[in-house]
Amino acid sequence: MAVGSGVVVAAGWAALISFVLSLSPPVRLPGMLFWLMGDLGGAAAPALPLAVLGAGLVLGLLVAPDLNLSVHGEARALALGVEVKRLQTLVYVLASLLTAVAVSVAGAIGFVGLIIPHMIRLLGGRDHRVLLPAAALLGGTLLTLADTAARTLAAPIQLPVGVLTALLGVPVFLVLLRNIHRRDRADG
């Protein structure tokens, strides 16, 4: 049911986006399409978004000890004094806000937020006090390298960075999933 409803919701949003694009002035279409594919070229004044993202990281670090406890299960976290429902709500709202800020500036740049935390965890970074800042730094580094490559690979044409991160991210994420699946089978 969830997959089917996800497909329907995605189709509805795709139709709405197509409708907006079809009504837009032709001169605005390239910028809109690049934003939809993920592009850092439109990030002209990033001070406010960076401040919000920095504040989100600080808030994440403040709840990192509770996140570490919640990894062991809801019942155990409750027994250790974590207000699990409050933590879940906070993390949901914070993740939504930070995603909205990032996407409003750069569009949909996929796989950075999926690959980097998993890679850090595979390298042993399970403590959220380390994982959160490491993910921010390594994710930013990956995004900067991908944006540089997107601007130079087909110069003078600039590729949307979101396309490049997806082309790199899909195979890497599939390998990570395979490794996690193998590890889980070996453990279970």
With a pLDDT cut of 70, the percent of the chain lying above it is 98
- Give domain status of residue 142, yes or no: yes
CATH number of the domain to which 115 belongs: 1.10.3470.10
The mean pLDDT of 128-136, rounded to a whole number, is 96
Question: Do 50 and 106 form a contact (C-beta atoms < 8 A)?
Answer: no
Instruction: Give the pLDDT of residue 182.
Output: 85
Instruction: Give the pLDDT of residue 130.
Output: 96
* Domain range for 140: 38-187
Q: Give exposure, 17-50, as e/b (b: 16+ Cβ within 10 Å).
A: eeeeeeeeeeeeeeebebbebbbbbeeeeeeebe
With a pLDDT cut of 90, the percent of the chain lying above it is 61
Instruction: Give the pLDDT of residue 3.
Output: 60
- Give domain status of residue 13, yes or no: no
Instruction: Give the pLDDT of residue 188.
Output: 65
Instruction: Give the pLDDT of residue 186.
Output: 82
The mean pLDDT of 46-60, rounded to a whole number, is 93
Q: Which residues contact 183 (CB under 8 A, 6 or more apart)?
A: none
Report the number of distinct structural domains present in the chain: 1
| Residue 26: DSSP 8-state | G
Nearest to 34 by CA among 105, 99, 100: 105
| Residue 40: DSSP 8-state | S
d(CA 5, CA 140): 33
Instruction: Give the pLDDT of residue 89.
Output: 97
* Token pair listed for 146: 């991908």
Q: What is the pLDDT of residues 161-188, one digit of tens each?
A: 999 999 988 998 888 888 878 887 887 6
Q: What is the pLDDT of residues 118-129, one digit of tens each?
A: 889 888 889 999
* Token pair listed for 73: 């299960």
Nearest to 129 by CA among 52, 64, 35: 64
The mean pLDDT of 125-135, rounded to a whole number, is 95
- Give domain status of residue 4, yes or no: no
- Give domain status of residue 164, yes or no: yes
Instruction: Give the pLDDT of residue 118.
Output: 85
- Look at the pTM and tell me if it is higher than 0.75: yes
- Give domain status of residue 15, yes or no: no
- Give domain status of residue 157, yes or no: yes
Average pLDDT, the chain: 90
- Give domain status of residue 71, yes or no: yes
Instruction: Give the pLDDT of residue 177.
Output: 82
